Structure 1
Amino acid sequence: MRFTDHCLRSEGADVILATSSDEKYPPENIIDGRSETFWTTTGMFPQEFIICFHKCVTISKITIQCYLVQTLRIEKTASKDPVDFEQCVEKELQYKEGELQREEFSFPEIQATNLRFIILAGYDAFVSVHRVIAEGIAQVF
């Protein structure tokens, strides 16, 4: 059994929705596999983005690398369309000046076709998301 990072453009992932857009820091940066690039919000909360896998995947761990994110909620759906999301976790993230936040969430293998990340609050008016990693195995229908 091979574990994969499903949140990579090279694995077929897409960011199908983002509530903010800055052409210098597009949401696609979240799934390029690099921590140096990022998506930035343009103020006000909540902010959200949805990553679509285009197939059902099994996820056992989600890692997010971000900056200035205070409260984060992660939701999932196994529906073909990005609807009927269920909450997986909501957490207040710790912040250290000048350091990228890295938060890991382990699950007893959730099934998902889409993940929605909702940034409910930030430590500043603008926050950034550098990378999302969803470890697991692909399901075949």
Structure 2
Amino acid sequence: MKYTRSPGDPRNMTDSSLSSLGAKVVVASSGDENHPPENITDGTETFWMSTGMFPQEFIVRFAEATTMSAVTVDSYNVKHLRIEKTASQNASQFELVTEKEFGHTEGHLQSNVVSLNGSSATHLRFIITTGYDHFVSVHRVTVQN
């Protein structure tokens, strides 16, 4: 029996790493010199780790306005994530796109597809409002067009 995905399944979309889109992390609420925020965009085995306390956030700036159907967030210990967007060039006046509760995974990464409903943005703000521990990490964010 052959399995086919429905046309709207986000896994049918093209995944793009943030670095391939010319995106950069331009703001982060915390940083560790061994695990800096830019590790989120490099698409390798590196990661960004918070330094404790909540909320934690980071802002990704795209090289140009980008339309996204969804993002995949690979993380550890994230409990609740809020995603906001703006089309302004100066990262101001963000509006809520979505919020999602992540399930707790012990000993392995959380991988969550978060629908953005075809949002177009120059900046995305990811706000981790709570975690399952004092520290969280974000290993990769990819965009589905």
What does residue range 125-136 of structure 1 map to in structure 2 within 5 Å? 125-136=134-145
Matched residue type, 2:55: P
Q: 1:86 aligns with which of 81, 86, 95?
A: 95
Q: Distance in 1 between matches of 2:115 and 2:131?
A: 23
In structure 2, relative to structure 1, the CA distance for the partners of 1:71 and 1:26 (3 Å cut) is same
Q: Distance in 2 between matches of 1:120 and 1:107?
A: 18
What does residue range 10-25 of structure 1 map to in structure 2 within 5 Å? 10-25=20-35
Determine helix, strand or coil for the equivalent of 2:65.
Answer: strand
Deviation at 1:122, TM superposition (A): 0.5
Gaps of 5+ in 1: 137-141
| Equivalent in the alignment of 1:110 | 119
**Residue identity (%):** 53
Determine helix, strand or coil for the equivalent of 2:85.
Answer: strand
| Equivalent in the alignment of 2:18 | 8
What's the C-alpha RMSD, in Å, of the aligned pairs?
Answer: 1.4
Q: Distance in 2 between matches of 1:61 and 1:134?
A: 6
Taking structure 1 as the reference length, the TM-score comes to 0.89
Gaps of 5+ in 2: 1-12
Taking structure 2 as the reference length, the TM-score comes to 0.87
- Runs of 4+ in structure 1 deviating by more than 6 angstroms, as ranges, are none
What does residue range 60-99 of structure 1 map to in structure 2 within 5 Å? 60-99=69-108
Determine helix, strand or coil for the equivalent of 2:107.
Answer: coil
Q: 2:49 aligns with which of 12, 16, 40?
A: 40
